[in-house]
Chains A and B, each alone.
Chain A
Amino acid sequence: MSFFPPDLDLRFRDAAVAEGLLDVSYDIADTPIGPLLVAVTERGLCRISFDPEPDRELDGLARDYGARVLRAASPIDPVKRELDEYFQGRRRKFELPVDLRGRSEFSLAVLQQLADVPYGEVTTYGSLAARTGRPRAARAVGTIMNRNPIPIVLPCHRVVGSTGSLVGYGGGLERKRQLLDLEHAPV
């Protein structure tokens, strides 16, 4: 491995951001439920992943938003700040713009309804389906929750089964339980 100055690396990443040349910036955020990979585009937050190994996310990000995907800290700072506040119990609603381009109309409608589920409350897959105008689409809503690109901020952890069981979570049931406990949700 030849010599490569680390400050030069940081300078380049900053310059790439400053010149607006990136399709996607990403970084790792440390949280009480583990490290999260966070990615943003020019339009807003586009990914939160419980798998902090970038190599497994990069191809998907490049496919969805463009190949100029680069690790860069500064565009992620506002997201880290809101996540910190949330995990400290000081934030009940996220105010970050999101980038959900490329999703079906139904997915967008469901995710919009999901975003409106209040902090500390839970709803069911069936009820979310009904609110989107398709009461029999509970299973489809489950699939959309499972593929939620921005968990935590779009609070799919607040969606549970009709019997009150936690059912499932992309980040594992233990994390779903931790998030609901943090919010003092009645489950």
Chain B
Amino acid sequence: MEAVSVPPFERFYEEHRSAVFGHLVRLVGRQRAEDAFQETFLRALRGYPSLRHGRHLKAWVFTIATRVAVDESRKRPPAPTDEVAELPHEDGRPAWAELEHLADELPEKERAAVVLRYGYDLPYDQIADALDSSEDAARQAASSGVRRLRRRLA
């Protein structure tokens, strides 16, 4: 496989910052997303020198963001749900956008697993990494999240 070198941080940051911010707004709400955003990219800076190649950087930073969101949620009570409802509307978002608000009431781990799997197409090994759990546990969290959503929609 062709070697992909780690890009200068500025390029990596500019490419992913909007998507990471959007991801964090979905996970923790608009208010808390700002602190989580800063923490995410500071952690990315700390980890950057140990990257050995420039592949999968989006998955890498999304897993950091998700871990930050989970850490944040452990520290603080959940944000009021109306914050999530105030998300700016964006045209052309995938069908997932119509459903993702339903995930808000899922337990933390299930919500992160569902959002990363179905909202962002992350593979289970990356999700496991983000959740600090095994791949099986990540798969299980996503599927029990989906079952819970189905029950709610039924």
Contact = CB atoms under 8 A, between A and B. Distances in A.
| Chain A residues touching B, range | 20 to 34
A70 B49 contact: no
Given A8-B37, A12-B38, A15-B42, A67 B6 contact: yes
| Chain B residues touching A, range | 20 to 34
Contact of A67 (B18, B21, B38, B48): B48
Of A1, A9, A21, most B-chain CB atoms within 10 Å: A21
Interface string A38-69: 00000000000000001100110110001111
Nearest to A61: B8
Nearest to B17: A4
Nearest to B22: A2
A15 B8 CA distance: 18
A78 to B, nearest CB: 21
A4 B7 CA distance: 22
Contact of B18 (A1, A11, A55, A66): A1
A65 to B, nearest CB: 10
Determine chain B's interface SS by DSSP, over half rule: helix
Given A2-B19, A2-B21, A59-B8, A8 B34 contact: yes
Contact of B38 (A2, A15, A54, A69): A15
Contact of A68 (B9, B19, B38): B9
Interface of B: 6-11, 13, 17-19, 21-22, 34, 37-38, 41-42, 45-46, 48-49, 51, 88, 90
Given A2-B19, A54-B10, A67-B51, 4 more contacts: A3-B22, A3-B90, A12-B41, A15-B38
29 contacts: A2-B18, A2-B21, A2-B22, A2-B88, A3-B88, A4-B21, A5-B34, A8-B21, A8-B34, A8-B38, A11-B38, A12-B41, A12-B42, A15-B42, A21-B46, A22-B45, A54-B10, A55-B11, A58-B10, A58-B11, A62-B8, A67-B48, A67-B49, A68-B9, A68-B45, A68-B49, A69-B9, A70-B9, A70-B10
